[in-house]
Amino acid sequence: MSNHVKEEALLTRLAVRHDLSRDAVKTVFDALRRSGGGMAQFNHPDFGGMAQWSPGMTMVGDMFNNGMKAKLDAVATELAAYLKDTPAADEPQQKEAASAEKSGDRWWPSDLGSPSTSGSQNAMRYAVFPEKRRLVIDEGGTISVYDTGDHRIHGVAQAQSSSATLKFTSQSGTVDLTQLKKL
């Protein structure tokens, strides 16, 4: 049985088991695949809009809905294990990157390739490129590139204050944007 057939069956099985749309499960799977299986950040109505998952951390748009969090954690944990055990060809990522370029979604420098994760809130957008050790921020149309150094960024939070600052999570804990070297 090919990986594609196994993946399709897994996505359908998880959707039925957790009473989710197949599209919601596929959205989680695609986000995990983009990050190499370590985290997922995406937007889907089945999870209340914007959602994030990494081992030990689950956030959904409806932040007090523990049932929704449990569904996301169960689905993402199983999909991450599958991705860890099943090496995938780069074909889906290449198609996605080509699609993003055609649709004009790619706003970061093209030499960085495809990000492991990207997102936006208010007038700020970010994209993380762990293999290149780069973080790109678009703040109101001004694009800045940062060197992430030894930080392997896997989570993002934006403070909802007048300063609207971004904070990142790495293997070393919380990293403030001001701690990173701007290139």
- Give per-residue pLDDT as tens, 5-43: 888 999 999 999 999 999 999 999 988 887 778 888 888
What does DSSP assign to residue 180?
S
Residues of the chain where predicted confidence (pLDDT) is lower than 50: 89-104, 162
For residue 57, what pLDDT is reported?
A: 87
Entry pTM: 0.53
> H or E segment at 175?
strand 173-176
DSSP character string of 64-105: T-HHHHHHHHHHHHHHHHHHHHS---SHHHHHHHHHHHHHT-
Residue 47 gets which letter from DSSP? G
- What confidence score (pLDDT) does residue 25 get? 93
pLDDT at residue 100 in the model: 40
> CA dist 136 to 42, 47, 131, 162, 177, Å?
18, 26, 13, 21, 11
pLDDT of 71 reads 94
